Amino acid sequence: MKIRREFLSYVVPSLLAFALSGVYCIVDGFFIGRALGDDGLAAVNIAYPAAAFIQAAGTGAGLAGAIRYTLLSAQNRRSEAADCFAGAVALLLALSLAMTAAFFALARPLLVLMGAEGRVLELGREYLRIIALGALFQAMATGLVPFIRNLGGARFAMGAMIAGFLSNAALDYAFVWLIEGGMAGAAWATITGQAVTMLAAVFYLARRRAQLSGDVRRAAKYILPILKLGVSPFGLTFSPQITALLMNRFLMLWGGARGVAVYACISYVVYIAYLLLQGVGDGSQPLISRFSGMGDREGVRRVGRLAYAGALGIALLCAAAFVLLRGHVGPLFGASGRTAEDTERLLPLFAAALPFVALTRVAASGLYAAGKALASYVLVYAEPLLTLALVLLLPGPAGLELGGVLAAVPLSQLLAALACAIVTAMDRNKG
């Protein structure tokens, strides 16, 4: 009962925070779709993976640093844990500067590579260049929140993310609709919301500086280990966007802007479910990391069972809701008649795969929370690699009606779940 209560105290705030994060992701699509139509919806969907890369990089570095911090703290290596925090912050700052320079300079060629053309290309470029200017806010916001959660501030972390979401939603309304700022207005609203979350996180951590004051000279040795472990949480956060990159490219080839708009409508709502499932995994991470650092295998197994049960329940509820409400998704984003019809027809395919996604995400989170980077790599990157293979095989004549291309995503999730079962069984046998 004690573990269950502690599990809920971490996971419930994490779930609520990630739920809001999911709504955060569709706010731009909601306002832009209604203001600029299918071209605007397609543009933000094509540009968003690049923006999501910034947030995923922050999550990867921050969560990996927080995991190592917790493992060291559980072993009473407090000074080393503080040095690890300093190394993580230094890494986040370096990544932010590098991503600002790269995405601002390469916005147009990246969007062309992702399949944008014509008006969609110009709208996407306008959005992405502004997002690049706010890379520091986005990476630091997503990177510092895991430390707050691991320090026992799960509720504060939730509050910081809520504040960012509310700021983004209010400014989207003001910038996109009231002053008709279009794509630029949506981008400024997004980075301002992330700045609010970052400032709240800095305020919390500044109050705990006695636990986090490490030696900058010693901190450098933690950067490479953080990077190695961070590849997994980065991939888990970004894998839906890797899939989106592939799908957008092939859908522009087979279905044009309408095909991308259909996938945009589907991915916006399904992404909420993915984030909820990640909320379960990341919410259980502080406990798994602590028990792993203490060598308490039974504690790790109990938390794992609770995480699997919670994730499967959420997946089934979300799948049912998506099927029941599928007819309302296209109109919600201002999609045209045929786009809305295709969204209604194809959304159940994605809903059916959610239980498989639940298994894979919780297993991957559990592995990297315990510091098992290599095994988690397999689970994190199996889905996008399988999607690439399937999207090359499935289109043909069926792809002309979009269903063939889009079926690659749920099929890859099913195959990734089978790979998950094999990897977790092997890991259990080693333990």
- Maximum Cα–Cα distance for the chain, whole Å? 63
Least confident stretch, 12-21, 224-233, 372-381, 389-398: 389-398
- Residues in contact with 360: Cβ distance below 8 Å, sequence separation at least 6, in sequence order: 379, 382, 383, 413, 416, 417, 420
Q: What is the band of 272 on the pLDDT scale with cuts at 50, 70, 90? A: confident
Q: What is the band of 135 on the pLDDT scale with cuts at 50, 70, 90? A: very high
- Between residues 1 and 366, the one the model is more confident about: 366
- pLDDT per residue over 365-410, tens digit each? 888 777 777 777 778 888 888 888 887 776 544 444 555 677 888 8
Residue 178 to residue 187: CA distance in whole angstroms: 15
- Give the mean pLDDT of 94-123: 88
pLDDT of residue 196: 94
- Between residues 383 and 199, the one the model is more confident about: 199
Q: What is the pTM of this model?
A: 0.77
- Exposed, middle or buried by CB within 10 Å (0-12, 13-18, 19+), for 178? exposed
Match 């999501």 to its residue by tokens.
Answer: 52
Is residue 261 pLDDT above 90, yes or no? Answer: no
326: tokens are 């599928």
- Give the mean pLDDT of 88-103: 93
Least confident stretch, 74-83, 184-193, 250-259, 321-330: 250-259
Residue 163 to residue 147: CA distance in whole angstroms: 18
pLDDT of residue 254: 67
Q: What is the band of 192 on the pLDDT scale with cuts at 50, 70, 90? A: very high
- Give the mean pLDDT of 32-43: 75
- Residues in contact with 96: Cβ distance below 8 Å, sequence separation at least 6, in sequence order: 54, 58, 135, 136, 139, 140
Q: Give buried/exposed letters for 361-395 (b at 16+ CB in 10 A, else e).
A: bbbbbbbbbbbbbebbbbbbbbbbebbbebbeebb
State which of 71-80, 115-124, 137-146, 253-262 shows the largest mean pLDDT. Answer: 137-146
- Residues in contact with 252: Cβ distance below 8 Å, sequence separation at least 6, in sequence order: 115, 116, 117, 259, 260
pLDDT of residue 255: 62
Residue 344 to residue 347: CA distance in whole angstroms: 6
DSSP 305-365: HHHHHHHHHHHHHHHHHHHHTHHHHHHHTT--HHHHHHHHHHHHHHHHTHHHHHHHHHHHH
Q: What is the band of 43 on the pLDDT scale with cuts at 50, 70, 90? A: confident
pLDDT of residue 132: 92
Q: Where are the domains of the chain?
A: 2-430
pLDDT of residue 25: 60
- Exposed, middle or buried by CB within 10 Å (0-12, 13-18, 19+), for 409? buried
Start-to-end CA span in the chain (Å): 25
pLDDT of residue 397: 42
- Give the mean pLDDT of 256-281: 82
- The helix/strand/coil state of 115 is coil
Nearest to 263 by CA among 168, 325, 271: 271
pLDDT of residue 402: 54
DSSP 33-61: HHHHHHHHHHHHHHHHHHHHHHHHHHHHH
Residue 234: C-alpha distances to residues 168, 183, 367 (Å)? 23, 26, 14
- Cα angle, residue 406 at apex, residues 404 and 409 outer, rounded to 5°: 120
Q: What is the band of 6 on the pLDDT scale with cuts at 50, 70, 90? A: confident
Is residue 287 pLDDT above 80, yes or no? Answer: yes
